[in-house]
Amino acid sequence: MEMEKGTAMKQQLGQNLIRAKGLAKTYREGVTELRALEGVDLEVRAGELALLMGPSGSGKTTLLSILGCILRASGGKLEILGKDVGALEENELSRIRREAIGFVFQGFNLFPTLTAAENVALALDLRGVRGAAAQTHAEALLAEVGLAEKARSFPADLSGGQKQRVAIARALAGDPPILLADEPTAALNSVSGRTVIQLLQRLAHEQDRAVVIVTHDPRVLPFGDRIIHLEDGRILREEGNRAGVLREPALLDLPPAGASLSREFSI
Ligand code: ADP
Ligand code: MG
């Protein structure tokens, strides 16, 4: 699998990268059924930072996992870069996970015995980038998140915010058009939390990625373009923070979702 910059999937500003319609998820444990999601409609465009908020148990992680193709919906339709993922085989899904989606978790999930650069290089290895090329690319990704000088540091020697930035660099390994983060600032102090949310915002606004963040953290609210409120597995309401680039008249007349992407993204 080739994974060079420029050959990865490319997105256009304002293009719908995520399109969910009527998403449902029922968990079954023995005879009991738990309806975690019921009829969620959601579209997220390239260049947007969307915040997903809601009380514990409202279905945020379930929704993020479905959007990230690590969990299958029980109902409804999900398109990622114009691809109907419900129809895909497991190997095609894993390709989408590898090439279209980057994940960031609350707990960082770094390997303690590997340096920052090695943690990032591991994600490159999964994408076929190895040796000196991986080393150079890992250092470039760390520079991207402002951690060039920490490439040889171990996680234990990094602050929480720095660890989360390493995790973001790792999530960028496949140059994914979509970044998904579950409570990325929850474990961070206010200065680190701010650095991390500003970084995620920049990855949306300057690199045209679709960034979806599950959060309880009121400190990040001002950074979201959209704030989507989930409760009992449904979207209750949505607020917008800015009359941003995506609402420019010129961008309202967009090609259908996936129109230009599907050409490059042929499975
Ligand atoms: P949130 O992230 O908003 O706290 P979750 O998506 O984790 O919500 O959970 C939504 C509901 O689904 C909760 O009632 C939770 O207990 C249930 N749930 C989540 N994951 C599972 C699972 N793997 N098996 C059974 N029930 C689950
Ligand atoms: Mg959760």
Instruction: Answer yes or no: is the C-beta of 54 below 6 A from any ligand 1 atom.
Output: yes
User: What is the whole-number distance in angstroms between the Cα of residue 196 and the centre of ligand 1?
Assistant: 26
* pLDDT 10s digits, 113-160: 999 999 999 999 988 999 999 999 999 999 999 999 999 999 999 999
Q: Which atom of ligand 1 is nearest to the CA of 25?
A: 12
> Which of 14-28, 101-115, 187-201, 229-243 has the least mean pLDDT?
229-243
Which residue has its alpha carbon closest to ligand 1 atom 17?
A: 36
pLDDT value at residue 134:
94
According to the model, what pLDDT value does residue 241 have? 77
SS (H, E, C) 227-262: EEEEECCEEEEEEECCCCHHHCHHHHCCCCCCCCHH
Mean of pLDDT values over 38-64:
96
The pLDDT value given to residue 2: 40
* Identity of residue 212: V
Q: What is the dihedral of CA 155, 159, 160, 165, to 10 degrees?
A: -70
Residue 185 falls in which region: left (phi positive, over 0), alpha (psi -120 to 50) or beta:
alpha
Q: Do residues 260 and 12 touch, judged by C-beta distance below 8 A?
A: yes
Q: Evaluate: CB of 64 within 6 angstroms of ligand 1.
A: no
Residue 78, pLDDT score: 97
Could you tell me the two tokens for 139? Answer: 């250092």
Ligand 2 centre to CA of 252 (Å) is 33
Q: How far is the CA of 76 from the centre of ligand 1 (A)?
A: 18
DSSP H helical ranges for 87-129 = 90-100, 116-125
* Per-residue pLDDT reduced to its tens digit, 7-36: 456 777 778 999 999 999 999 999 999 999
Per cent of the chain over pLDDT 70 is 87
Answer yes or no: is the C-beta of 65 below 6 A from any ligand 1 atom: no
Q: Which atom belonging to ligand 1 lies closest to the Cα atom of 214? A: 2
174 lines ligand 1 (CB under 6 A): no
Protein residue with its CA nearest to atom 15 in ligand 1? 57
Question: What is the model's pTM?
Answer: 0.87
Whole-number pLDDT of residue 242? 58
Q: What average pLDDT does the segment 39-51 reach?
A: 96
Whether 162 shows a pLDDT value over 60: the answer reads yes
Name 23's Cβ contacts closer than 8 Å, sequence gap at least 6: 37, 39, 40, 41, 42, 63, 66, 73, 75, 76, 77, 78
pLDDT mean across residues, the chain: 87
Q: What tokens does 254 get?
A: 């967009």
DSSP-derived 3-state class of residue 107: coil
Average pLDDT over residues 224-228: 95
Rounded CA gap, 197 and 180, in Å? 12
Average of pLDDT values for 187-207? 94
Residue 106, pLDDT score: 83
Pairwise CA distance, residues 261 & 254, whole Å? 13
Ion ligand 2: residue ranges with CB closer than 5 A: 60-61
> What's the rounded mean pLDDT across residues 231-236?
97
What is the gyration radius of the CA atoms in the chain, in angstroms?
18
**67/61 Cα distance (integer angstroms):** 10
Atom of ligand 1 nearest to the CA of 63: 6
Q: Between 50 and 241, whose confidence is greater?
A: 50
65 CA closest ligand 1 atom index: 6
β-strand 16-29 against 75-80: which pairing, if any? Answer: antiparallel
The mean pLDDT value for 165-177 works out to: 96
Average pLDDT (80-99) is 93
Evaluate: CB of 17 within 6 angstroms of ligand 1.
no
In the predicted structure, residue 191 carries a pLDDT above the cut 50: yes
Buried b / exposed e across 70-95, counting CB within 10 Å, b at 16+?
Answer: ebebbebebbbbbbebeebeeeebeb
Residue 9 confidence (pLDDT): 67
Q: What share of the chain is helix, strand, coil (3-state, %, to 5)?
A: 35, 25, 40
Token pair for 138: 């890992």
Residue 4 confidence (pLDDT):
40
Which residue in this structure is represented by tokens 């993922």? Answer: 85
Q: What is the pLDDT of residue 8?
A: 55
262: pLDDT strictly greater than 50: no
At residue 53, the pLDDT reads: 96
User: 59 CB under 6 A from ligand 1?
Assistant: yes
